[in-house]
Amino acid sequence: MIELKNVSFSYYLPEKVDVIKNINLIVNKGEFLVIIGRNGSGKSTLGRLISFILEPTEGEVLIDKKPKMEIDYLDIRKKIGMVFQNPDNQIVSQIVEEDVAFGLENLNYSEEEIREKIDDVLNEVGLIEFRKFPPNFLSGGQKQKLAIAGILVMEPQYLVLDEPTSLLDPKGRKDVIELIKKLNKKGITIILITHRMEEAILGDRVLVLNDGEIFLEGNPEEVFTEVEKIRSVGLSPPVFTYLSYLIKKENFNIDIKLWKLEEIKKEILQLKSKI
């Protein structure tokens, strides 16, 4: 469990700019937490605070009830991995398998253990047949999966992903999201920062950040059916949720729902049976 207690973060530019303001948050083991918010709302900063990459200006971040100074730095880096927008900035080697091995250096594994771990994660992310290829041969989505593999090899418990699909084409986005879902099912805690609503609805819990504060929090249904609130902070709810909101506003008898694809299908089938 990662716990943020009254966490604030400011940049000094040189005058003080408060980016994160007194946030209290618990990230439970195994959950899929999504963080959304308009540009500049503090998402990346919050992601870095959760990952122990940044230190709070005020308050504290605990992992399994322990503050940073009580834990070995290497232990934190192994427990919490962070993936960024641009896979090119995260790939360091000229060969796919060497890139995965990079994080294992200095960790005292035997060559055989390293070999085994690389095989496992390349299989997991679906890149095993590219092991001897240069990363530049890969598509954007595959590169992002390679970046994720480089973190997975450390066997993290928590994975923080900061808009990992925003530079990818639709196929790459789909593949990376499928991988994230699979990793969560395997027990890895996911903290996904995104601006895509179709990704946000995949979470167990959604946190809406506005101006460095938690503005809304709940499961996707609870958060996104607050259509007016969501729109007031510069975000759009998922398109069908918004559509049902507009129809209801015109006094038609319809519930505002999250409208996942299965719900839409069910609704259409019911309509069909009435005709």
Ligand X SMILES: Nc1ncnc2c1ncn2[C@@H]1O[C@H](COP(=O)(O)OP(=O)(O)O)[C@@H](O)[C@H]1O
Ranges within 34-63 binding ligand X (CB under 6 A): 37, 39-45
Buried b (16+ CB within 10 A) or exposed e, 5-43: bebbbbeeeeeeebbbbebebebeeebbbbbbbeeebbb
58/221 with CB nearer ligand X: 58
**210 lies in the binding site for Mg ion (CB under 5 A):** no
Determine how β-strand 158-162 pairs with β-strand 189-193: parallel
- CA separation for the pair 136, 235 (Å, rounded): 35
**Residue number with CB closer to Mg ion (44 or 210):** 44
Among 23, 37, 44, 97, binds Mg ion (CB under 5 A): 44
Q: How far is the CB of 163 from ligand X (least distance, A)?
A: 8
State the minimum distance, in angstroms, from the CB of residue 14 to ligand X. Answer: 11
Measure the CA–CA gap between 224 and 211, rounded to whole angstroms. 19
What's the min distance (Å) between Cβ of 127 and Mg ion?
26
In contact, 208 and 36? CB cutoff 8 Å: yes
In terms of CB distance, is 157 or 166 closer to ligand X? 166
* 234 part of the interface to ligand X, by CB under 6 A: no
233/116 Cα distance (integer angstroms): 47
Residues 111-150 that bind ligand X (CB under 6 A): none
Binding site for ligand X (CB under 6 A): 11, 13, 19, 37, 39-45
